Structures are given as structure tokens and as C-alpha cells.
Amino acid sequence: MASDNTTKMVTGKARLSYANIWEPKANDQGQLKYGTAILIPKSDKETLRKIKEKVDALKAEATTKYKGKLPPNFKLPLHDGDEEKPEDPNYAGHFFLNAYANNKPGIAKPVGRDTDGKTKFQEITDTTEVYSGCFARVSINFYLFDNKSKGIGVGLNNIVKVQDGESLSGRSSVNADFADEDFDDVDGDDDEDYMS
């Protein structure tokens, strides 16, 4: 297989966490950024191989830039969920990347194929449809950064939702909260003032 020397790639099916993809959020430096954590199953060897290829190429570039040696505390983008977030069961068995963008990422879903057999996409505008906990394939790119710290960062390009998943927002749904409650006495047509 020929090596792809660009820094862009598309993940396999991954889960979104801390998905601030509809509105930017201020980072530690006060800059407004869109972003999401991308949880990649450790069983997804192909996505992990692609990430390693991109990271290794940038590490080699950085080694040359810094005269043959990576700086101390050089930050790498891929993190082990079992080691770094042992308290969060959603990260168990996953590696994760934190990806950011200055501009809102493209957000879409596949909607069949065109006459050439290529996948067609429909833009998603409903902010409840793509959320922390859903599954997606994500277009990302890797880059070297050199500011207060040095390392390899991840840019967020586009997101294609592929499957719903349990929300990771921490907020329960109405259905979950009231599933075991009996509301047979409420028919919706009664104008009685329930506050009296």
C-alpha cells in the first residue's frame, strides 16, 4: 500500500464525546473553538494505523526541525482511554483524540448513492441529531504546533453521523425519568389548573 504523505484522514466508526460542534466554546486561552473528543475502539486497527502513520511523519519532521531531538514534553495527540480516563466507562477499550477547529465543521449524514455509486450526503442542521454519544466518521488533519508547548495537534474538518448512541451529556431524557410513572389520569384535554 502506498503511503499517504498528507496529514488529512478519515476515521472509521468512532464515538463523539464533549462535542462542541454547533457553537464554539472558549478554550484555556480564551479563543473560541469548535471541538470534540473522538473515541476510537482499540479494535479499529486500520484507523489506528492511519493515525500512527500521520503522527510518525510529523514526529520525523519535528525531529529535523528541532535539530535531531524532540523537545521535552512534546505532546502527542493519541491518548489511551483506559489509562487517562479510568473513571469514565465510555472511554474503556478506546483510544481518543481531541480535535478542534476555528470554523464550524461540516455535519452531514449519508443518504444513499448517486448514479456513479458514490455516497450522497445530506447536511444536518438539527442540533439535537449529532451529539456527545452518537457515532460518526470524522475527517481530521494533523499538524505541528509550537507555542507555549510543542507537539502535534488535530484539526476538525467534517463529521458524518453513522449511528445513534446513548447520550453522554449526563442529562437524562424525559422518557427515562418518567418510564415507570403512571400518567393514565392525564388525558391532555382537561383545562384544570394543576397549580391550584
- pLDDT tens per residue across span 24-42: 999 888 889 999 999 999 9
Supply the pLDDT for residue 148: 84
Average pLDDT for 37-63? 97
Q: Domain containing 80: what range?
A: 8-166
In a domain, 144, yes or no: yes
Residue 79 β-bridge partners: 96
Supply the pLDDT for residue 135: 97
Average pLDDT for 169-192? 61
Average pLDDT for 41-53? 97
Residue type, 12: G
pTM beyond cutoff 0.85:
no
Mean residue pLDDT of the chain comes to 88
Cell of 86: 479510568
Q: Are strands 119-123 and 94-101 parallel, antiparallel or unpaired?
A: unpaired
Q: Nearest-CA neighbor of 34 among 168, 169, 154, 165? A: 154
- The CA–CA distances, whole Å, from 175 to 65, 134, 181 equal 56, 18, 10
Q: Are strands 119-123 and 135-146 parallel, antiparallel or unpaired?
A: unpaired
* Tally of structural domains, the chain: 1
Q: What is the CATH number of the domain that holds 22?
A: 2.40.50.140
In a domain, 184, yes or no: no
For 15, counting Cβ atoms within 10 Å of its Cβ (0-12 exposed, 13-18 middle, 19+ buried), the class is buried
Q: What are phi and psi of 166, to 5 degrees?
A: -65, 130
Supply the pLDDT for residue 29: 81
Supply the pLDDT for residue 168: 85
**159 pLDDT higher than 60:** yes
Which percentage of the chain shows pLDDT scores above 90? 74
Which percentage of the chain shows pLDDT scores above 70? 85
| pLDDT tier, 2 (very low <50, low <70, confident <90, very high otherwise) | very low
Supply the pLDDT for residue 153: 96
In a domain, 110, yes or no: yes
In a domain, 181, yes or no: no
Instruction: Decide if 51 contacts 44 (C-beta within 8 A).
Output: no
Supply the pLDDT for residue 117: 92
What whole-number distance in Å separates Cα of residue 146 and Cα of residue 28? 16
Q: What are phi and psi of 96, to 5 degrees?
A: -145, 150
In a domain, 191, yes or no: no
Render pLDDT for 79-111 as a digit per residue (tens, 0 to 9). 999 999 999 999 999 999 999 999 999 999 999
